[in-house]
Chain A
Amino acid sequence: MTETSRMTEPDEVALLEQEDQPPAAPPRASGAFGAVGWLRWGWRQLTSMRTALILLFLLAVASVPGSLLPQQGIDPAAVQQYYVSHPGLAPWLARLSLFNVFAAPWFAAIYLLLFLSLAGCVVPRTYRLARSARALPPPAPRNVARMPQSVRHQTGQDPAAALAAATAVLRRRKFRLRTGDGWVSAEKGYRRELGNLLFHLSLLGLLAAVAMGGLFGYKANRLLVSGTSFANTVTALDVFHPGRLVSSSDLQPFTITLNRFQASYVRSGQLRGQPSSFNANLSYSAQPGARAQQYDLRVNHPLNVDGVKVYLIGHGYAPVFKVTDGTGKVVFDQPVPFIAVSTSGLTSEGVVKVPDARPDQLGFAGVFLPTAVDAGGTLESVFPAPLNPRVSLISYKGNLGMNSGPSQSVYQLNTAGLTELPVPPRPLAPGQSIKLPGGAGTLTFTGYRQWASLAITYDPGQVPALIAGLAALAGLLLSFFIRRRRMFVRAYPGPDGRTVVDVGGLARSDPAGGFDEEFARLAGEFQAAYAGETPEGKTD
Chain B
Amino acid sequence: MAVNQGLSHLSDHFLMVTLILYFLAVLAFAADFAFGKRGAPEPAQAEVPELVTAGAAGGAAAAKPGASTASPGPGNAGTANAGPGEAGPGNAGAVTGTLGGRAASTGRPGLRDASFWVRAGLALTVLGVLGHITGVVIRGLAVHRVPWGDMYEFVIAVTCVAVLFFLGLMIRYRPYRLGLFFMAPIVIIIGLAQTVIYTPAGPLVPALNSYWLAIHVTAITLATGTYVVAAVLAVVYLFADRHARRVAAGLPVRNSEVFKLLPSPERLDQFAYRTVVFAFPLWTFGIMAGAIWADEAWGRYWGWDPTETWAFITWVVYACFLHARVTAGWRGRRAAYIQLVGFGCLLFNLLGVSLFITGLHSYAGLS
The A contact surface, by secondary structure, is: mixed
Is there an interface contact between A313 and B366, defined as CB atoms closer than 8 Å?
no
With A53-B324, A73-B304, A85-B362 in contact, do A155 and B329 touch (Cβ < 8 Å)?
Answer: no
8 A/B residue pairs, CB under 8 Å, sorted by A:
A49-B326, A69-B366, A82-B365, A102-B304, A145-B99, A148-B102, A152-B81, A276-B206
Report the Cα distance A68→B353, complex, angstroms: 9
* Chain B residues, CB < 8 A from A45: none
Is there an interface contact between A22 and B367, defined as CB atoms closer than 8 Å?
no
With A74-B304, A154-B80 in contact, do A311 and B62 touch (Cβ < 8 Å)?
Answer: no
With A219-B299, A523-B95, A528-B65 in contact, do A67 and B309 touch (Cβ < 8 Å)?
Answer: yes
- Supplied contacts A64-B313, A480-B280, 20 more A-B pairs, CB within 8 Å: A20-B327, A56-B316, A63-B313, A68-B357, A71-B304, A145-B97, A148-B100, A149-B99, A149-B103, A151-B103, A153-B78, A274-B205, A298-B206, A302-B299, A459-B300, A469-B291, A472-B284, A480-B281, A512-B277, A527-B95
Listed in ascending order, the chain B residues whose CB lies under 8 Å from chain A are 61-62, 64-66, 68-69, 73-81, 90, 94-103, 105-106, 200, 202-203, 205-207, 209-210, 212, 270, 273-274, 277-278, 280-281, 284-285, 288, 291-293, 295-306, 309-310, 312-313, 316-317, 319-320, 323-331, 345, 353, 357, 360-363, 365-367
Report the Cα distance A513→B105, complex, angstroms: 11
Is there an interface contact between A153 and B77, defined as CB atoms closer than 8 Å?
yes
Is there an interface contact between B328 and A20, defined as CB atoms closer than 8 Å?
yes
B288, B293, B301, B325: which contacts A1 (Cβ < 8 A)?
A: B325
A536 shortest CB reach to chain B, Å: 12
Report the Cα distance A417→B334, complex, angstroms: 66
Which residue in chain A gives the minimum CB-CB distance to B49? A148
10 residue pairs, one from A and one from B, having the closest CB atoms: A524-B65, A154-B78, A516-B102, A527-B77, A300-B210, A67-B306, A67-B309, A60-B316, A311-B299, A156-B75
Which residue in chain A gives the minimum CB-CB distance to B345? A60
With A455-B298, A466-B292, A469-B291 in contact, do A19 and B102 touch (Cβ < 8 Å)?
Answer: no
Is there an interface contact between B299 and A511, defined as CB atoms closer than 8 Å?
no
Is there an interface contact between A74 and B305, defined as CB atoms closer than 8 Å?
yes
A167 shortest CB reach to chain B, Å: 16
**Interface code A506-540, partner B: CB below 8 Å = 1, 0 otherwise?**
00000111011101100111011011110000100
* Chain A residues, CB < 8 A from B319: 56
Report the Cα distance A2→B331, complex, angstroms: 9
Report the Cα distance A513→B79, complex, angstroms: 27
Which residue in chain A gives the minimum CB-CB distance to B332? A2
Q: Does A498 contact B (CB under 8 A)?
A: yes
* Chain A residues, CB < 8 A from B274: 511-513
Q: Does A70 contact B (CB under 8 A)?
A: yes
B244 shortest CB reach to chain A, Å: 16
Is there an interface contact between B69 and A533, defined as CB atoms closer than 8 Å?
yes
With A2-B331, A20-B328, A149-B100 in contact, do A59 and B316 touch (Cβ < 8 Å)?
Answer: yes
B78, B102, B285, B300: which contacts A219 (Cβ < 8 A)?
A: B300
Q: Does A21 contact B (CB under 8 A)?
A: yes
Is there an interface contact between B367 and A86, defined as CB atoms closer than 8 Å?
yes
Is there an interface contact between B320 and A56, defined as CB atoms closer than 8 Å?
yes
Which residues of A (340-399) have their CB < 8 Å from a CB of B? none
B97, B273, B303, B327: which contacts A151 (Cβ < 8 A)?
A: B97
Which residue in chain B gives the minimum CB-CB distance to A538? B68
With A89-B366, A276-B206 in contact, do A528 and B353 touch (Cβ < 8 Å)?
Answer: no
Is there an interface contact between B277 and A520, defined as CB atoms closer than 8 Å?
no
Q: Does A412 contact B (CB under 8 A)?
A: no
Is there an interface contact between A476 and B309, defined as CB atoms closer than 8 Å?
no
Listed in ascending order, the chain A residues whose CB lies under 8 Å from chain B are 1-2, 17, 19-22, 49-50, 52-53, 56-57, 59-60, 63-64, 66-71, 73-75, 78, 81-82, 85-86, 89, 101-102, 145-157, 210, 219, 266, 269-271, 274-278, 298-302, 309, 311, 313, 455-457, 459, 462, 465-466, 469-470, 472-473, 476-477, 480, 494, 498, 500, 511-513, 515-517, 519-520, 523-525, 527-528, 530-533, 538
B66, B202, B298, B327: which contacts A50 (Cβ < 8 A)?
A: B327
A57, A269, A498: which contacts B78 (Cβ < 8 A)?
A: A498
Is there an interface contact between A155 and B77, defined as CB atoms closer than 8 Å?
yes
Report the Cα distance A66→B76, complex, angstroms: 69
* Chain B residues, CB < 8 A from A69: 365-366
Report the Cα distance A456→B299, complex, angstroms: 7
* Chain B residues, CB < 8 A from A301: 296
Is there an interface contact between A19 and B298, defined as CB atoms closer than 8 Å?
no
B278, B329, B345: which contacts A512 (Cβ < 8 A)?
A: B278
A82, A155, A462, A473: which contacts B75 (Cβ < 8 A)?
A: A155
* Chain A residues, CB < 8 A from B106: 516-517, 520
* Chain B residues, CB < 8 A from A156: 73-76, 78
B293, B300, B328: which contacts A21 (Cβ < 8 A)?
A: B328
Which residue in chain B gives the minimum CB-CB distance to A266? B203
Which residue in chain B gives the minimum CB-CB distance to A85? B363
Is there an interface contact between B316 and A462, defined as CB atoms closer than 8 Å?
no
Report the Cα distance A536→B309, complex, angstroms: 53
Is there an interface contact between B203 and A276, defined as CB atoms closer than 8 Å?
yes
B101 shortest CB reach to chain A, Å: 8
Most chain A CB atoms below 10 A, which of B78, B97, B101, B325? B78
Is there an interface contact between B324 and A66, defined as CB atoms closer than 8 Å?
no
Is there an interface contact between B320 and A57, defined as CB atoms closer than 8 Å?
yes
A63, A68, A480: which contacts B312 (Cβ < 8 A)?
A: A63
A53, A472, A511: which contacts B323 (Cβ < 8 A)?
A: A53
With A313-B298, A477-B281, A523-B95 in contact, do A19 and B105 touch (Cβ < 8 Å)?
Answer: no
* Chain B residues, CB < 8 A from A456: 299
* Chain B residues, CB < 8 A from A49: 323, 326-327
Is there an interface contact between B96 and A22, defined as CB atoms closer than 8 Å?
no
Report the Cα distance A239→B324, complex, angstroms: 45
Report the Cα distance A70→B273, complex, angstroms: 36
With A266-B203, A270-B200, A530-B77 in contact, do A469 and B103 touch (Cβ < 8 Å)?
Answer: no
* Chain B residues, CB < 8 A from A64: 309, 313
Is there an interface contact between A531 and B69, defined as CB atoms closer than 8 Å?
yes
Is there an interface contact between A527 and B65, defined as CB atoms closer than 8 Å?
yes
Is there an interface contact between A299 and B102, defined as CB atoms closer than 8 Å?
no
B149 shortest CB reach to chain A, Å: 12
Which residue in chain B gives the minimum CB-CB distance to A78? B361
A155 shortest CB reach to chain B, Å: 6
Which residue in chain B gives the minimum CB-CB distance to A499? B78
Is there an interface contact between A60 and B313, defined as CB atoms closer than 8 Å?
yes
Is there an interface contact between A68 and B277, defined as CB atoms closer than 8 Å?
no
Report the Cα distance A455→B345, complex, angstroms: 31
* Chain A residues, CB < 8 A from B202: 266, 269-271, 274
Report the Cα distance A52→B74, complex, angstroms: 59
Report the Cα distance A269→B99, complex, angstroms: 67
Most chain A CB atoms below 10 A, which of B65, B295, B329? B65
Report the Cα distance A242→B44, complex, angstroms: 61
B95, B285, B299, B305: which contacts A455 (Cβ < 8 A)?
A: B299
Report the Cα distance A69→B296, complex, angstroms: 26
Which residue in chain A gives the minimum CB-CB distance to B363? A85
Report the Cα distance A232→B253, complex, angstroms: 74
